[in-house]
Amino acid sequence: MTDMGTTLLIWAAILGAIAAGSMVLGAIVGITTPMSNATVGAMCGFGAGALISALAIELVSPTVEALAHADLADRSTEIHHFVTLLIALIGGGVIFIVLDQLLSSHGGYLRKGAYVIAQHAKNKSKRQAELMQSIGNSSFFSSMSPDLMHELLKMLHPKFIVQGESLFNAGDESHELYIVRSGSLTLTHTDGNTRVAERGDLIGEVSFLAHQPHSTSAVAEHGPAELLVLHKAQYELFAKLHPEFAGTVRELASERILENKRHLDQSAIAKQQWADMAIDALRTGGTEVPSASDMNTMKEEHSNAGMAIWLGNLLDVIPESFVIGTVMLSLVAAKSAAGVELSFFDVMPLTLVGALFLSNFPEALSASVNMKQQGFSTTKIILLWMALTVICAVGAAFGAYVGESIPHAAMIVVEGIAAGAMLTMIGSAMLPEAAHLSSPNMAGFSTLVGFVAAIGFKLFE
């Protein structure tokens, strides 16, 4: 390799280190002085807009312009290059998705807030589906549509009792409604009558609706049991929102008290009345942000999530770094063809490097907080981000090295795959993150500002 070739590799490595260096800064800020969500969201939007602009200008535009200005003799070749670019873009997106899903399954999704929300919704949907499958055929739920049953299940919370444990005893105050999800409970009335509540059965509805102490005891005599619980506070909230619902419940409670006095077992009718009224009143929905408890649960499910977070960011860095080297090399070729003496700043793709620098900062900031919560020491976190900076520098140098030795058509494939992966990452993570952390208008405007800023960088190249 010539001295100039070695110099170009060093320049590319420096550019890669600059682009990734903001990760170390973001990690330090995230651990020591966390920024507001709105600020991080705006930065994510800005970085996303800048990256979209940079990728369009530096990676897609050259092939499009070559096709637009090709003469008749070269048009067939340029069409082939254009189609190749389109296929490579799609391929890069697919590759990113496959690798990202692999890492997310091991906790890598914790590196981005938008990923966490999506995974939380996915986990919750899975749990809801399991609940519906486990108790959907019971007498209590049999007449409900899947949508109505799903709405009811959103309001319920799990409770576990071991064999021999009492759920409640006769005379205890009634503050909750219970549905048996698994196992069974033996209910013993004060008059000595007993019955067994099994999967899907409602427990404690009479005392709950009548605001009276329990007239029965409920014991898990035959093994452990899992219950779904509706708390009185939730019931009262819906009663205030739906006065007609409250009136119907009071009427039902009166009827049930009279039935208990006559020792008539009309529980099936009462259960169905309660189910019909509850379904009419329980109307919740929308995308939920996971609570602190939800976050802890998600993190505890992945003991190696800290490294998965780091590997996820490595997945983002690899295409970024490679593109830095190839784009720098294209600037070198253009400057050399124009007879300009080469210098570091003449061949610096300011648009791309600046966009990557700005986008990597908030990404590392939020990811570092999650890594800290996973038990990583501050020193280890900083060292890991420094390692990513070195990897980015090596990747940029490798991109410049490869760019000198492979044909133009092959370079289109490589750059297309890298651009497709980066664009997929922007759409799946950075833009949702911006909209989640800041207001939608702020996310949109900051994305626009980033896009304009990246175009403006071209004035200094």
- What confidence score (pLDDT) does residue 24 get? 93
Range of lowest pLDDT (96-100, 123-127, 165-169, 209-213):
123-127
Range of lowest pLDDT (170-174, 343-347, 457-461):
457-461
Residue of 112, 103, 64, 105 whose CA lies nearest to 85: 64
Confidence of residue 391 (pLDDT cuts 50, 70, 90): very high
Asked whether the predicted pLDDT for residue 215 surpasses 70, the reply is: yes
Angle of the 305-337 helix axis to the 378-405 helix axis, nearest 10 = 40
Range of lowest pLDDT (64-68, 88-92, 373-377):
373-377
Q: How far apart are CA 347 and CA 148, in angstroms?
A: 62
Confidence of residue 191 (pLDDT cuts 50, 70, 90): confident
Both tokens of 394, joined, read: 């090596």
Mean pLDDT for 350-379 is 81
Confidence of residue 283 (pLDDT cuts 50, 70, 90): very low
Q: What is the residue-averaged pLDDT of the chain?
A: 76
Q: How far apart are CA 44 and CA 446, in angstroms?
A: 8
DSSP per position, 28-71? HHHHHSPPPHHHHHHHHHHHHHHHHHHHIIIIIHHHHHHHHT--
Give the residue ranges of DSSP H helices in 69-145. 72-104, 113-135
Range of lowest pLDDT (43-52, 76-85, 259-268, 315-324):
259-268
Asked whether the predicted pLDDT for residue 108 surpasses 60, the reply is: no
Q: How far apart are CA 269 and CA 73, in angstroms?
A: 83
Tell me: the pLDDT tens digits for 413-431? 988 998 898 898 888 878 8
- What confidence score (pLDDT) does residue 78 get? 92
Asked whether the predicted pLDDT for residue 109 surpasses 80, the reply is: no
- List residues bridging with 189 in a β-sheet: 216
What is the set of domains in the chain, with CATH numbers? 3-107+302-460 (no CATH), 135-286 (2.60.120.10)
**325 vs 203 pLDDT, higher one:** 325
**26 vs 291 pLDDT, higher one:** 26
Range of lowest pLDDT (150-164, 177-191, 311-325, 335-349):
150-164
Asked if residues 112 and 359 have their Cβ atoms less than 8 Å apart, the reply is no
Mean pLDDT for 275-302 is 43
Helix (H, G, I), strand (E, B) or coil at 216: strand
- What confidence score (pLDDT) does residue 131 get? 62
Asked if residues 124 and 157 have their Cβ atoms less than 8 Å apart, the reply is no
- What confidence score (pLDDT) does residue 240 get? 67
Asked whether the predicted pLDDT for residue 348 surpasses 80, the reply is: yes
- What confidence score (pLDDT) does residue 126 get? 61
- What confidence score (pLDDT) does residue 79 get? 94
Asked whether the predicted pLDDT for residue 18 surpasses 60, the reply is: yes
Asked whether the predicted pLDDT for residue 287 surpasses 50, the reply is: no
Backbone angles phi, psi at 140, to 5 degrees: -70, -40
Max CA distance (Å), the chain = 104
- What confidence score (pLDDT) does residue 84 get? 95
Range of lowest pLDDT (30-34, 44-48, 200-204):
200-204
Tell me: the pLDDT tens digits for 147-182? 656 666 666 777 888 788 889 998 898 888 788 888
Asked whether the predicted pLDDT for residue 183 surpasses 90, the reply is: no
Confidence of residue 275 (pLDDT cuts 50, 70, 90): very low
